Amino acid sequence: MDAGSRIEQALLAAVAHADAPGNPPLLASAMRHAVFPRGARIRPRLCLAVASACGEDEPTLSDAAAAAIELLHCASLVHDDLPCFDNAATRRGRSSVHKAFGEPLAVLTGDALIVLAFQILGQVAAPLERIGIISVAVSRSVGVPSGIVAGQAWECEPSVDLAHYHRAKTGALFAAAAIAGAAAAGSDAEPWRKFGELLGESYQVADDLRDSAGDEEAIGKPTGQDAPLGRPNAVAEFGIEGAIHRLHTLVAESIEAMPTCQGAPMLRALMQSEVKRLVPKKLAQFAA
Amino acid sequence: MDAGSRIEQALLAAVAHADAPGNPPLLASAMRHAVFPRGARIRPRLCLAVASACGEDEPTLSDAAAAAIELLHCASLVHDDLPCFDNAATRRGRSSVHKAFGEPLAVLTGDALIVLAFQILGQVAAPLERIGIISVAVSRSVGVPSGIVAGQAWECEPSVDLAHYHRAKTGALFAAAAIAGAAAAGSDAEPWRKFGELLGESYQVADDLRDSAGDEEAIGKPTGQDAPLGRPNAVAEFGIEGAIHRLHTLVAESIEAMPTCQGAPMLRALMQSEVKRLVPKKLAQFAA
C-alpha cells in the first residue's frame, strides 16, 4: 500500500474510536470534519518516508506514529482557527470546525484529537521501548517548552523571535515526525531531530510565501492574514526574494543534516520534489 | 512523605517543564495559575491510596501517574471555564485562567496541560509495561468515546442521559486514577475500574449537592450554575434527599466493588471519611 493510503487508513481507524457506543455523535462528526478530507499530510508522509529510509520493520507502529502526528496537527489547526485566535471561517476549502459545529465543540474536538494521538500510540502492538521513544518525542513536539502549543503562545507575548517561534510552532512537529519514523524502524532516533527541525522551518517559510502571495486556493484557508494580525512572517522580515533564498538554504541544510541511512537517496529526491511543489507558481520567477 | 506533599512535589516538577529556556513566560504563568494553589487533589490522592493499598513498589511511577491525572483534571477545568462553556470568572476562589490571562492563553494552557500529562508519563523511569497500562487508561479516561472530553461534549447534544454523562465527565478520570494506582504498584489493574467509576459518580452527585446548596466557599467557584445552564444535575433529577440517598448508595457500592488488596481496611476508612467531608454541612440533616 502506498504511503498516502496507509495514512488515510490509520487516521480512519483512529477516528473510529469516536464511533464507539456512548460517544456524543456531534463530537464524532466534528472530529471527522477536522481530519477529513485529506490535507497535504506532509508530516505523516515525512514520518513514513524516514521509517522506510531506515529499513522499516514494524509498519503498524510507523502507521500509528504517522497518524498520531497528523491528529496533533489537525488539533492545532482546529484551535488556531477559533475566534480568539485567527477567527478563520474556512480551512482546507470548507467551513472551519467552529463555523460548522460551534465554538464549544471546536474546543473539545481539538482536545479529543490531542488525547486520541496518545491513545493510539499507547494501544499499538509493538515493541514498548520504541513506543516510549515515540511518545516522548511527540509530546515534546506539542507541549512545553518548545512544542506547537508553546509556539502558538508566543503570539500572546509582547515580542517574539521569528526563528524561535517557527521552530516551536512548525519545526517541532516535523522533528517529531522524523524522530518517530526512525524510532518506529528501530533506528537511533535523536540524530533525526535537526533534519526534521530544518525541514519544518523551511515549510513554514513556504507557508509564509503562500500567505503573502495570496495563494488561497492552494493553501485552502484565508490568506493575507499574517500582516493584519501582526504575526511573525518570513516575507515581512526578509522580503519575497529573501524568503525564497532562505527556503532553499534551509532545505540544503536539512539534506546535509540527514543521518546516514539505507534510503538516503530516495529521501533526498522526495525533499527536492517537495520544495518545488511548495513555492507558489506566481513566485517561481524569484527562485533563481 | 505524606500523599499531599508527594502530589504537590510531582506537580511542581511537571510544571517546571514550562520554565525551560524557550518557553513563552505568560504560558508558564498561566499553567502555574491553573495547577496551583492546590485544589482538593481528590483524584491523585485516590491514585496514591490505591497504589499504597496494592503494596506500592515504584513510588516514582505512582507520583507521575497521580500528577498526570491531576494535570488532566486542571486542563478540563480551564477549558470548562471558557466563555463558550461556563464563562466562569472564578475558580478555586480566584480568577479563572481566561479572566487572568485572556482566552487565547486559556485555550493553550488547557492544551499544554493535557500534553504535559502524557509527557511526564512517557519520561518516568519505571517498568515500560506498567507505564503502557497507565497511559492507555489515562488517555481513555480523557478522550473518546467515554472520557472527560466526551462527557463535556454531551452538553452540546440535544438530549443527555444523566448516568452516562456523569460516568464520562467524572467517573472516567476516577476510574483511571484507581487503575493507574494499581498498575503503578504492579497489580492487576482492570478490576479497579468499577470501583473508581462508582466513586467518581458519587463525587459528581456530591458536587451537584454543593452546587444547589450554594456552598460557594467550599466549592471555590460560582454555584447555582447548573439549573440556569440547563445542565444535567442529580438534585434536579432526584431532589435533595434523593441525591443524598444516591450518594450513600454509590459509596456503598464502590466499597463492595473494591478488589481484594492488602490495604483494603485503610482504603475503606478513607472513603468513609471522604463522603462525610463531601456532603455540605447545611444538608447534613438530610443524611439519615
pLDDT digits (tens, 9 = 90+) for B78-120: 999 999 999 999 998 899 999 999 999 999 999 999 999 999 9
A27 in B contact zone (CB under 8 Å): yes
Q: Using 50, 70 and 90 to split pLDDT, how confident is the model at A225?
A: low
Cross-chain residue pair B26–A157, CB shorter than 8 Å? yes
- B182-213: per-residue pLDDT in tens? 999 999 999 999 999 999 988 888 888 888 87
Inter-CA distances, B191 with A122, B146, B180, Å: 20, 18, 11
Residue A220 in this model has a pLDDT that exceeds 60:
no
Q: Using 50, 70 and 90 to split pLDDT, how confident is the model at B229?
A: low
Of the partner residues A17, A118, A149, the one whose CB lies closest to the CB of residue B118: A118
Choose between B232 and A201: higher pLDDT.
A201
Q: Using 50, 70 and 90 to split pLDDT, how confident is the model at B175?
A: very high
- A10-23: per-residue pLDDT in tens? 999 999 999 998 89
Secondary structure of residue B191 in the 3-state scheme: coil
**Percentage of residues in chain A having pLDDT higher than 90:** 68
Do β-strands B90-91 and A94-95 pair in parallel, antiparallel, or remain unpaired? Answer: unpaired
Choose between A164 and B34: higher pLDDT.
B34
Residue A208 in this model has a pLDDT that exceeds 70:
yes
Identify the pLDDT of residue A288: 43
Euclidean distance between CA atoms B73 and B92, whole angstroms: 13
Least confident window among A279-288, B200-209, B246-255 = A279-288
Q: Helix H segments across chain A?
A: 3-15, 25-35, 42-53, 59-80, 97-101, 103-123, 128-142, 148-154, 162-166, 172-184, 192-213, 216-219, 234-257, 264-278
Least confident window among A33-42, A232-241, B158-167, B193-202 = B158-167
Min Cα–Cα distance to chain A from B141, Å: 10
Q: Residue B277 is part of which domain span?
A: 3-286
**DSSP state at residue A81:** T
- B8-65: per-residue pLDDT in tens? 999 999 999 999 988 999 999 999 999 998 888 999 999 999 999 999 999 999 999 9
Q: CA-nearest residue of chain A to B161?
A: A22
Residues of A with Cβ-Cβ distance to B103 under 8 angstroms: 84
End-to-end, the C-alpha distance of chain B in Å comes to 37
Residue A219 in this model has a pLDDT that exceeds 80:
no
**For position A206, which CATH number holds?**
1.10.600.10
* Number of domains composing chain B: 1
Residue B174 in this model has a pLDDT that exceeds 90:
yes
At residue B61's C-alpha, the angle toward residues A75 and B275, to 5°, is 85
Are B244 and B220 spatial neighbours (Cβ–Cβ below 8 Å)? no
Average pLDDT value for chain B: 90
Min Cα–Cα distance to chain A from B92, Å: 22
Cross-chain residue pair A105–B156, CB shorter than 8 Å? yes
A181-190, A218-227, B33-42, B167-176, range with greatest mean pLDDT: A181-190
- A52-89: per-residue pLDDT in tens? 999 999 999 999 999 999 999 999 999 999 999 999 99
Identify the pLDDT of residue A93: 87
Residue A161 in this model has a pLDDT that exceeds 80:
no
**Percentage of residues in chain A having pLDDT higher than 70:** 91
Q: Using 50, 70 and 90 to split pLDDT, how confident is the model at B275?
A: confident
The string of DSSP letters for A102-159 reads -HHHHHHHHHHHHHHHHHHHHHS-S-HHHHHHHHHHHHHHHSTTTSHHHHHHHTTSS-
Choose between A30 and A273: higher pLDDT.
A30
Are B200 and B174 spatial neighbours (Cβ–Cβ below 8 Å)? yes
A44-48, A209-213, A244-248, B37-41, range with greatest mean pLDDT: A44-48
Nearest-Å Rg of the Cα atoms of chain A is 18
For the residues A146-152, what does the mean pLDDT come to? Answer: 95
Are A95 and A37 spatial neighbours (Cβ–Cβ below 8 Å)? no
Least confident window among A114-118, A207-211, A240-244, B12-16 = A207-211
Q: CA-nearest residue of chain A to B25?
A: A157
The string of DSSP letters for B38-55 reads ----HHHHHHHHHHHHTT
Of the partner residues B107, B111, B143, the one whose CB lies closest to the CB of residue A84: B107
B248 in A contact zone (CB under 8 Å): no
CB count within 10 Å of CB B38 equals 12
